[in-house]
Chain A
Amino acid sequence: MDKFTVLDGIVAPLDKPNVDTDAIIPKQFLKSIRRSGFGPNLFDAWRYLDHGEPGQDCEPRPLNPGFVLNQERYSGASILLARENFGCGSSREHAPWALLDYGFKAIIAPSFADIFFNNCFKNGILPIVLESRVVSDLFERVVAEPGYHLMIDLPAQQVITPDRQVYPFEVDAFRKECLVDGLDDIDLTLRHVESIRAYEARRRQEAPWLFQ
């Protein structure tokens, strides 16, 4: 996993509450047995005017000019600004894979769905919760100023605007460490093999029916 420290990037605004994982990456693309290549199908049903299928070349497909990510001013965006309950719905990790493959490394919203939130960290994407009021302000500014960008300083836990306004954010110490150091969760856990074995031995005594 890539390390995440400081990110300075263009912000794209997605002004809808309850954006679900089916919208982020429609189900037909879940048939892939790979982990990459989902970027062109991110928000597929909103982004294109036709219906997309897996394996299709997306270059010649008709774009929906009304969809925000199709606007030239947001090209190259690496920060997604979103509304309440972003990422609700299924547990599909294809959603963060698609966001990452497209180029998003951070998402700012007033709230996220739990599983999606968790899946982001596992893939090096930083989901940031800011107050609704602040998020609404940011929406106004992004729309008003083409090329609007934000700086996200994860070690300092701050979102910094171009005019040097600073918004602190919360992040679990452990998750932060994993992101900053680009650590693999499995390697981390396997440092505790002895603890897992000890737990199993004790549990086997207490609840043998769980080990049939």
Chain B
Amino acid sequence: MSALTLYDKLWQSHVVRSEKDGTALLYIDRHLVHEVTSPQAFEGLRLAGRKPWRLDANLAVADHNVPTTNRSDGIADPVSRLQIETLDKNCAEFGITEFRMNDVRQGIVHVIGPEQGATLPGMTVVCGDSHTSTHGAFAALAFGIGTSEVEHVLATQCLLTKKSKSMRVNVEGKLHPGVSAKDIALAVIGRIGTAGGTGFALEFAGQAIRTLSMEGRMTLCNMAIEAGARAGMIGVDETTIAYLQNRPFSPRGALLDQAVENWRTLKSDVDARFDQEVSFDASQIRPHVSWGTSPEMVVTIDDCVPDPALEKDLVRRQAMENALVYMGLEANQPVSSIRIDKVFIGSCTNSRIEDLRVAAAVVKGRHVAKNIKQAMVVPGSGLVKRQAETEGLDRIFADAGFEWREPGCSMCLAMNADRLEPGERCASTSNRNFEGRQGAGGRTHLVSPQMAAAAAIAGHFTDLDVFQGNL
């Protein structure tokens, strides 16, 4: 048999049947559900008189709209409240397991899946959310779907889809201290562009990937979608297997042994061929900051804001000029001169315990700068929050002038009350810097948790090395 990529293996083991043109009926092992993209799907089921095909494959949680302040008074916004109540009602009616808002296990859907062991190697994982690519960190085939497909999965446990092409992103060498998985992600997107991965399933490989923790791998796979790829994945190794021990939904005992034996095969064969390969040298990657309104508009902390006049492609030049106007920046301005108003540490990209630990290490014993109107930390789940509190991270953040919030998507997309005001500039650990993403007129700069923490203390973007040397 010819050598297979991880993606080939995951694909082949889930094809139920194929059409002549290659469209496959793909079996789905795990379906994660949240309040924004599911109401119309449940309504569709109800109208057609259908029932979920396999209840135990589904796990639901409300995350996008939930308030991150005191929840004892419920949800003030009636439209958000209705959406969350609709999820509660639908899950109760159809018998789907849901972590409700006041359950300690509640959190961002892409944080809780892995945390619970609901995401396992070899699974197909889907969710009505584009950042489902996150779960590929576990050698799962994980991708975002639309609401019609949410209904399709609920009704049939399958999806109609076609195989993508494969791309391997090799990241060899060692990352410097202070450079994180987020910087790898931004470097990759900066190089291949937001459409560079369109039509591909990405696999991240190489020494730098092997040394990443599961949290770092999730950050990286999370952002595969920002490179245009529906799925990003990483082969199984000991780090993966260690993470999955004793998680509530993980197998145990003899079943775990059997599973682990299978999981160890979930990596690309040595001589597997990819449709495309790109390579990066980890030792050359510097901390990144996005300057524009697309995640491909990135530079490193030592750089200046680029000059559209140097861009030859007219459409791109226009897009750069528009981005500079929207962002209120000047061409050639040093990135370290950009002063910020708000800091957001959170989102499914960077709200796990490791992210909070590195950010806390930077702010410990310091205080946010005077020009910072608000700095907040929004843990990815109730369990992350509890763990952080056990370690005393909440105190470190609070003493430094950060707000310590309840878990949810929060200011990543500002569907709840957490948002930027027009013109406000934010150092954000989230994944999208589109116009208005964090609030109408708000300006988002994507960075790693350590860079966001350093920016909060300095009041502007700053090189971590310089920053730590100075203090």
Contact = CB atoms under 8 A, between A and B. Distances in A.
B457 to A, nearest CB: 30
B443 interface: no
Contacts of B230: 114-115
Contact of B129 (A91, A113, A209, A211): A91
A54 interface: yes
Interface string B412-424: 0111000000000
B166 to A, nearest CB: 14
Nearest to B249: A212
A18 B194 contact: yes
Interface residues of A, number: 59
Interface in B195-216: 195, 198-199
A174 B21 contact: yes
B461 interface: no
A109 to B, nearest CB: 11
B251 A209 contact: yes
Contact of A113 (B198, B249, B315): B198
Interface string A108-135: 0001111100110011000000000000
A88 interface: yes
A17 interface: yes
A172 B21 contact: yes
Interface stretch (B343-351, B355-363, B365-373, B430-438): B430-438
Contacts of A31: 36, 65, 79-80, 82-83, 415
Interface residues of B, number: 78
Contacts of A115: 130, 143-146, 230
B148 to A, nearest CB: 4
Interface in A22-54: 22-23, 26-28, 30-35, 45, 51, 54
Contacts of A174: 19, 21, 23, 160
Interface stretch (B3-11, B37-45, B267-275, B382-390): B37-45
Interface stretch (A6-14, A69-77, A186-194): A186-194
A30 B151 contact: no
A24 to B, nearest CB: 11
Given A55-B79, A93-B148, A208 B56 contact: no
Contacts of A196: 16, 25, 27, 53, 156-158
A27 B122 contact: no
B17 interface: yes
Interface stretch (A57-65, A98-106, A143-151, A199-207): A199-207
B152 A189 contact: yes
B48 A186 contact: yes
B155 interface: yes
Contacts of B406: none
Interface stretch (B98-106, B255-263, B279-287, B299-307): B255-263
A210 interface: yes
Contacts of A85: 194-195, 198, 228
Contacts of B37: 91-93
A207 B144 contact: no
Identify the 7 closest CB pairs spanning chains A and B, nearest first.
A33-B39, A209-B251, A122-B148, A93-B146, A119-B146, A91-B144, A173-B21
Interface of A: 16-18, 20, 22-23, 26-28, 30-35, 45, 51, 54-55, 83-85, 88-93, 96, 111-115, 118-119, 122-123, 172-175, 185-186, 188-190, 192, 195-196, 199-200, 203, 207-212
Given A33-B39, A118-B146, A210-B120, 9 more contacts: A31-B79, A32-B79, A54-B79, A90-B144, A93-B146, A113-B195, A115-B145, A174-B23, A174-B160
